[in-house]
Amino acid sequence: MRRPIGLNHLLEITFFAPNLIQLGETPYGKRVIANIDGGHFEGPNLKGTVQGPGGDWLLIRQDNSVQMDVRVSLLTDDNEIIFLSYQGIRVGEQEVLNRLQSGKKVDPTEYYMRTLCRFETGSIKYAWLNSILAAGTGERYPDYVMYDIYEIA
């Protein structure tokens, strides 16, 4: 029998992205670039801040679901740098997505927001991050985005 997949809580992370660049309609959908210029993260084995510049290259597809493509740098409280990249999707009923896109607060149980994450670092202490895959569940609020990230065991 194959070993079942497990999840171990890795960290909770919050991003602040006050500046949005609206590219408009493209052949792939409506493109929006979110400038991530700060935030924080904490988990059982690491803690620190989100460093700018970073960004989320969002694509609002024809079905109004949102495809996420994020790249940020993390600075741990012991001064190590970690690169985090992830792709994800946010899906929900049209009315729910409209409320989210207009900047209103929406209960996160009303939509599906998931990510697949990879880490990269030259740090010896955090080198174990280079060899894992992670998945996250997210919540979008008017002023920030928050994720719980889990190592796929």
Predicted confidence (pLDDT) per residue in 14-67, tens digit: 999 888 899 999 999 999 999 998 999 999 999 999 998 899 999 999 888 999
Whether 119 is covered by a domain: the verdict is yes
- Residue pair 59/31 in contact (Cβ under 8 Å)? The answer is yes
Mean pLDDT across 84-113: 92
Mean pLDDT for all residues in the chain? 94
Question: In terms of residue numbers, what domain contains 59?
Answer: 7-152
Q: pTM of the full predicted structure? A: 0.92
Whether 1 is covered by a domain: the verdict is no
Residue 124 belongs to domain with CATH number:
2.40.160.20
Q: Look-up: residue for tokens 């960004």?
A: 55
Spatial CB neighbours of 92, under 8 Å, sequence gap ≥ 6? 65, 100, 110, 111, 112
Whether 2 is covered by a domain: the verdict is no
> Which of helix, strand or coil describes residue 128?
helix
The count of structural domains within the chain is 1
What pLDDT is stored for residue 103 in this prediction?
Answer: 82
